[in-house]
Amino acid sequence: MGSKNKLKRFKENEDFPNVVQPERAEIVDDTFKYKNRWKQDFFKNEKPLILELGCGKGEYTVGLAKRYPDSNFLGIDIKGARFWRGAKTALEENITNAAFLRTQIELVDQIFGEGEVDEIWITFPDPQIKWKRTKHRMTNPEFLKKYKQVLKPDGLIHLKTDSEFMHGYTLGILEGLGYEIIYAHHDIYVNHQAPEVVVNIQTFYESQYLKEGKSITYTKFRLKI
């Protein structure tokens, strides 16, 4: 993507009512206005709040919002030029329960209050295969601790990935910590019992992976012993 297109999208994001772009300082200083108030002050309702972490172009955020109008969906990514597409689609199609937040995933426990989130989706994260990148894996114990803080006690987490490494790593971490694994499969498109919502919403990259013959894995779990 050219720099002119990026700048144009950044500018449009500033005017989109469904995009939130807080300054890092207000998050770190605990002055971010929506913390503990996302439902009441941003979405203006009391519907469940569901996050997509590392939302990319926002296909899953928008797709879920269309299917589940009685929940609020918030896609989170640091790359605003990517989720611009999802935000624009949501506005064009009047999908009022989908919105986007530009920030770093590691700040999630400072952006949301304790127990404020109902569910989390993690779709096709970078598996960070090299050992020295372990701290950046989105299902490592430190990230799970942050998710547990913001999730309700029975809150669900969904992980969908093309990386067998990420799938296996996550299962190992969950089993080691004694967390509840509700569902796990290494190739959902050959498993006819896979949840419908998992196979019928696809990201751009997922469709590319499927054309390449890659298996798509899915895990659903709770951070509950």
Domain 3-222 CATH class label: alpha beta
18-46 in b/e form (b: 16+ CB < 10 A) is: bbbebeeeebeeeebebbeebbeebbeee
What pLDDT is stored for residue 164 in this prediction? 96
Instruction: State how far Cα 159 lies from the chain centre.
Output: 9
What does the pLDDT look like over 1-59, one tens digit per residue?
566 688 888 888 899 999 999 998 999 899 999 999 999 999 999 999 999 999 999 99
Residue with tokens 């969906």: 73
Catalytic residues: 126
| pLDDT reading at 82 higher than 80 | yes
What does the pLDDT look like over 156-168, one tens digit per residue?
999 999 999 999 9
Classified as helix, coil or strand, 185 is strand
What pLDDT is stored for residue 1 in this prediction? 58
What pLDDT is stored for residue 26 in this prediction? 93
Each domain of the chain, given as residue ranges in start order, spans 3-222
| Mean predicted confidence (pLDDT) in 61-73 | 97
What pLDDT is stored for residue 2 in this prediction? 63
